[in-house]
Amino acid sequence: MTTDLNALTEHDMGDDCPVCRTQDLVDAVLLPAAAAWEQRNGLPRLSLALHGAAGLLGALLEEGVSRDDLERTLSELLDEIEQHILEDMTMGGPPQGSA
């Protein structure tokens, strides 16, 4: 079975978009849980995120995704994330809930 990286990264920014839903889950659940676990166990901040992400990327390598394709896709995702960060900073920070 081959993994289609485009299917894992392309999304429509809609409510039913699996990529957007995954990003929401990571932001709302996984990052706070990882931060609490790191703090409780005296680990450096974001160490779980970095090593966990590397482990998950390793699973893609095991599936047969080439390192070059993975690096290209990761670079594109990081570019997108940086763009969102800049937009959030311009608008006064990330959303803090709905009013």
* pLDDT tens digits, 58-72: 999 999 999 999 999
Q: How confident is the model at residue 99 (pLDDT cuts 50, 70, 90)?
A: very low
Rounded CA-CA distance 56/37 in Å is 18
The string of pLDDT tens digits covering residues 25-42 is 888 999 999 999 999 999
Prediction pTM value: 0.72
User: Cα–Cα distance between 44 and 83 in angstroms, integer?
Assistant: 26
pLDDT, one tens digit per residue, over 76-92 is: 989 988 998 898 888 87
